[in-house]
Amino acid sequence: MARVLVTRALPGAALERLRALHAVDVWDGDLPPEPAVLRERAAGAEGLLTMVTDRVDGALLDAAPQLRVVANYAVGTDNVDLGLCARRGVAVGVTPDVLTEATADLAFALILAAARHLVAGHEAVRGGSWRTWEPAGWLGHDVYGATLALIGPGRIGEAVARRAQGFSMEVLRVGRDDDLHAALERADVISLHCPLTAQTRRLIGAEALRHVKPTAVLVNTARGGVVDQVALRAALQEGRLAGAALDVTEPEPLPPDDPLLSAPNLLVLPHVGSATHTARARMADLAVANILAGLDGRPLPHPAD
Ligand code: DGY
């Protein structure tokens, strides 16, 4: 029986399977454990089931020398030092596929919301500032038939592309070696799906934003760090971009006085791409399967790339 630390309670029944075989310690705070607390709790753990809110870095690995497996409850791994884990023989697992459709649904919801002012319109009705129907009131941009640039067309990007077919959209897939600026010049909708790496950090910055159409909308369901938020705010304020809808920001949450939040035509959600009952329960299944395999010394069924 090995010691496993799980850094948040998980939906679904997966943790019961882990508890049946191992000594499981579940952090039950309302907020993620502070790094020092995480290090203290992880001492002696052989398995660690982490969230995107936990940093798996050298300090944590030093504090948990018996660690054999980290199962990140996410498809992204930017919170985990993968190189260091590999060097120390710690296997790292992720939760791919099971959150693809939920995240693509949300990306599409954000595309529609940003193009058609859904949230601002609702707030105007609720706040009493909407006075009457007007021929030129609340004009947005067509999504049907628009050109969609998928930046980082992986599993989730392809799922968004499938939805875009139903809207007769032209889809531009922009991978690492493609001309980002040329795609941005053509796109009516820009949807980000790349992982956060040294190469993609601030990919959508001042230079990239100089190439977008003033009628375009930007949607980010990937990672906040892919966008330069200062440059995004300037583009929105100066009307160089029609709108942005972000499920992810840096940091999370944004402090209420963060200048970005005062930008026009901006919608920000609390990182809910995978937040459906089904997706989160299936993510727990995959994370537990990764921990069980790692503790058994078997290859992880869902290893990080
Ligand atoms: C992920 O999986 O990387 C998401 O951001 C959290 O579900």
Tens of pLDDT, residues 48-103: 999 999 999 999 999 999 999 999 999 999 999 999 999 999 999 999 999 999 99
Tens of pLDDT, residues 100-155: 999 999 999 999 999 999 999 999 999 999 999 999 999 999 999 999 999 999 99
Catalytic, 122? Answer no
Q: Whose CA is nearest to atom 3 of ligand 1?
A: 76
Query: Which whole-number Å values give the CA distances from 208 to 143, 146, 202, 211, 259, in the listed order?
Result: 22, 20, 9, 6, 20
Q: What percent of the chain has pLDDT over 70?
A: 100
Q: Where in the chain is the domain with CATH 3.40.50.720?
A: 3-96+277-295, 100-268
> How does residue 170 score in pLDDT terms, banded at 50, 70 and 90?
very high
Q: What percent of the chain has pLDDT over 90?
A: 99
Mutate to test the pocket of ligand 1, among 50, 51, 73, 75 (most ligand atoms within 8 A of CB): 75
Evaluated on CA atoms 37, 83, 293, 75, the torsion sign reads positive
- pTM, to two decimals: 0.97
Mean pLDDT score of the chain:
98
The predicted structure's pLDDT at residue 89 = 98
Give dist(CA 139, CA 221) in Å, integer. 25
Catalytic, 55? Answer no
CATH architecture of the region 100-268: 3-Layer(aba) Sandwich (3.40)
Expressed in angstroms and rounded, the spacing between residue 220 Cα and the centre of ligand 1 is 12
> How does residue 305 score in pLDDT terms, banded at 50, 70 and 90?
confident
Which residue in 68, 116, 117, 223 is the catalytic one?
Answer: 223
Nearest to 265 by CA among 294, 233, 295: 233
Tens of pLDDT, residues 209-259: 999 999 999 999 999 999 999 999 999 999 999 999 999 999 999 999 999
Evaluated on CA atoms 240, 184, 194, 278, the torsion sign reads positive
The predicted structure's pLDDT at residue 96 = 98
With a 6 Å cutoff on the Cβ, whether 195 touches ligand 1 is: no
Which residue in 8, 233, 271, 282 is the catalytic one?
Answer: 271
Expressed in angstroms and rounded, the spacing between residue 254 Cα and the centre of ligand 1 is 18
- Sequence-separated contacts (24+) of 290-293 with Cβ below 8 Å: 290/69, 290/71, 290/91, 290/93, 290/94, 291/4, 291/18, 291/22, 291/47, 291/49, 291/69, 291/71, 291/93, 292/17, 292/18, 292/21, 293/69, 293/93
Catalytic, 271? Answer yes
Over 90: is that where the pLDDT of 179 sits? yes
Superfamily of the domain at 3-96+277-295:
NAD(P)-binding Rossmann-like Domain (3.40.50.720)
